[in-house]
Chains A and B, each alone.
Chain A
Amino acid sequence: MSNLYSKELIEHYKNPKRFSKMENPDLTGVAVNSLCGDELTLYVKNDNGTVVDVSFQGSGCAICLGTMSMFIDSFIDKNIRDLFKLSENEVLERISMDSDSPRKRCATLTLEAIQKLK
């Protein structure tokens, strides 16, 4: 748990990357964790199946917002189909979270936002 709140994660939480609303996105994914009220909205612009622009908005804890911020730059230039392949393990490993952490849902909200893209 202690490794979870790394300087990096907290920095991402305080200054999240690509944190803005997108005008006319091609795809939008909204994920809500109603248990704690956390929310993420992911916006994607694609060109022939390739992500050309991406941004997100949301409110929630450091893990929820920080995780999305840590990954979002890597979405650029990816094939949309590859975006969907991001796995739970990759996410948990990146933020040093155990798979039985009570906060897992906060981290996987990023994945849920991707899955909900439409």
Chain B
Amino acid sequence: MVNSIKQQFPIFQKNPDLVYLDSASTTQKPEVVIDSIINHYANSNANVHRGLYNLAYSADRAWQEAHETVAKYINAKSYKEIVFTRNSTESLNLLANSLALKEGDIILTTKLEHHSNLLPWLAIQEKRGVKVEFIDLLDSGEMDYDSFMDMVKKEGRNIKLLTLSHMSNVLGILNPVEKYIKVAKQIGVLTIVDAAQSIAHTSIDVQKLGCDFLVFSSHKVYGPSGVGVLYGREVLLNDLPPFLKGGEMVKNVKLSSVEWNELPWKFEAGTPAIEAGVAMAAALNWLDQEIKSVGGWEQYSRNEEALTKKALDMLSKVEGIEIVGGGDKHGVISLNIKGTHPHDIASILSDSSVCVRAGYHCAQPLHEALGLPGSVRLSLGIYNDEGDIKKFIQAVEKVAKLFR
């Protein structure tokens, strides 16, 4: 069967044997996204928020439209709630720097977070005397709701922020963040959802999630690198001081006082990655169409789960395979082969043109909590099919045999 989605990706057209199973690191880009970047530079290039000539005006329009597309994609109320940053990491650092957290405040998170949703908080713990506390994990790697409720009871009003990964980049588990957010809201706790992984695996509706802030990166959802998103509820963004200062983010500058620009521009200091922002919108529009054509996100998830399950079944037949954690895995499986170092596995897989990531995947505390010296991770994108899984399994069998 011809994989019609793969055909839309130049990298797979040029490298038909490529087995790309590292989409959790970054996704490949469809032709429409690459074309959008070329088109921007060939036809529409001008700086944003500045010019009075037509070209600049249309660059401005495209920039705002890109924000509108993202707003619609995640069901935000307006483009004013959409700030373009460089990536999820910058969005989280922006929040850590700008949120009014002070000594004695407690930030609740989990042990499965990506370093980008851990280190910014640890940094302000040191600097401002806030305290970071960790919700326990079950053996499967799923979040322990009882541990969360115990903390809520114990710490109550001292908890000021709850920041959770929507989907673990190691375990592939979709965390039921809505349940946690609901509790947080009842006690007036601000909530952040790290949707860096989930954005490419499920539909994201910020109003349904009920979160105050949500972050993701374009490059993990078929868009270019260099641009990411911070969603924030308008009332909250209004009160939040800007993180970076400079051009584009001010209205009125006197030496004695400044007036910040309107939302969301107040948070977008300096010349942004304009072509990337515009191409991210093209990526989301493209993905929206593709998902519709497979029958919607629920159907997409079912297909992905079936493919994941097939991979797990085949893996279970290979001697020495150990799967990291349990739970329902959404296109992401981390594993080890007994007596084999993850880096050796990835190197040998690379001989068969199989691309997987090896190491801690920027989640060292999670590996420590599970007692693992790293792992090898397979992660699926919209373009992967059973053929990819079969080639992966064949390569894994080769490694297992080599080291047996």
Contact = CB atoms under 8 A, between A and B. Distances in A.
B351 A10 contact: no
Q: Which interface class (under 10, 10 to 19, 20 to 34, 35 or more) fits A? A: 10 to 19
Nearest to B374: A37
A1 B350 contact: yes
Contacts of B340: 62
A1 B347 contact: yes
A8 to B, nearest CB: 12
Contacts of A106: 343
A14 B350 contact: no
A10 B403 contact: yes
Contact of B348 (A5, A13, A59): A5
Given A10-B402, A37-B373, A5 B339 contact: no
Interface residues of B, number: 14
B341 interface: yes
A63 interface: yes
Contacts, number: 33
A63 B350 contact: no
B341 to A, nearest CB: 4
Contact of A5 (B373, B374, B402): B402
A53 to B, nearest CB: 28
A61 B339 contact: no
Given A10-B403, A36-B359, A37-B374, A2 B351 contact: yes
Contacts of B343: 36, 61, 103, 106
A62 B339 CA distance: 10
A36 to B, nearest CB: 6
Contacts of B373: 37, 59
Nearest to A6: B402
B351 A62 contact: no
A65 to B, nearest CB: 9
B274 to A, nearest CB: 34
Interface in B345-404: 347-348, 350-351, 359, 373-374, 402-403
Nearest to B352: A2
Given A37-B374, A61-B341, A62-B344, A1 B403 contact: no
Contacts of A5: 344, 347-348, 402
A29 interface: no
Looking at B340, B341, B348, which has the most chain A CB atoms within 10 Å of its CB? B341
Contact of B339 (A4, A14, A59): A14
Contacts of B347: 1, 4-5, 102-103
Contact of A14 (B359, B374, B403): B403
B355 to A, nearest CB: 13
A37 B351 CA distance: 23
Interface string A52-84: 000000011111000000000000000000000
Contacts of A103: 343, 347
Given A5-B402, A37-B373, A61 B344 contact: yes
Contacts of A13: 403
A59 B339 CA distance: 12
A100 B339 CA distance: 27
A29 B212 CA distance: 52
Looking at A14, A36, A60, which has the most chain B CB atoms within 10 Å of its CB? A36
A61 B346 CA distance: 11
Given A1-B350, A13-B403, A106-B343, 4 more contacts: A1-B348, A2-B351, A36-B343, A37-B374
7 contacts: A2-B351, A4-B347, A10-B402, A10-B403, A37-B373, A37-B374, A61-B344
Interface of B: 339-341, 343-344, 347-348, 350-351, 359, 373-374, 402-403
Interface of A: 1-2, 4-5, 10, 13-14, 36-37, 59-63, 102-103, 106
